[in-house]
Structure 1
């Protein structure tokens, strides 16, 4: 359970062999983007074939949160790990679209859709 002062939290789940799902909730801004960056970096490793980032619980996605996703994508590409975002809510999807990052990421509508792709 996150501390009351924590704006964002990430729950890590490993539903299938070599696939990790990060369920993100809260607000990802300059003070809380590390809450995503750390588990994303930790789970992008050898032996993992895909990481799914579920942004369904995100209420705000600022530039620092976007940066965490971009850095994660770069690391995933270096390691040959597939990175898929789940984003349907406006608070997560709109900043990704407004910055042109929707052409960089694979974005699907549900964790089930993401798992079917990987």
Structure 2
């Protein structure tokens, strides 16, 4: 599944036996978070103890507090499902707000993830 919102966000979904991977590019702000929320909501029941949720933010160019709120919601849901949530980020656009807010201590943030089959 690939979607591109005219509002400036690019979303793609890849599912394997071990993970649900959501790739996000462009801008995550008040205008674009509804698209991200819809995709997260559509796949949230597809994760569990044996299937992680991976959110790849390496191509994000702008990251607002509404994006942080969506990650917190995803984390809460994953915890309820017993699923691991992995955030992939290697750019300061995403990492700096996460560091300033102290969220790097509660999220599993990595520069990359090995794709499990």
What range describes the TM-score normalised by the shorter chain of this pair?
0.7 to 0.9
Q: Which residue of 2 aligns with 1:24?
A: 24
TM-score in terms of structure 2 length: 0.87
- Structure 2 residue aligned with 1:64: 66
After superposition, residues 36-115 of structure 1 pair within 5 angstroms as 36-46=36-46, 48=48, 49-112=51-114, 115=115
Number of positions where the alignment pairs a residue of Structure 1 with one of Structure 2? 112
Gaps of 5+ in 2: none
- Shift, 1:47, TM fit: 5.2
Q: SS state of the match for residue 69, structure 1? A: helix
State the 1:111 CA deviation: 2.8
Q: Which runs of 4+ in 1 moved over 4 A?
A: none
- Please state how far the C-alpha of 1:18 moved relative to its aligned partner: 3.8
Separation in structure 1 between the aligned mates of residue 80 and residue 91 of structure 2, nearest angstrom: 29
Preserved CA contact (<8 Å) 1:9 1:35:
no
Contact 2:20 2:46 in 1 (8 A): no
**1:30 aligned counterpart, secondary structure:** coil
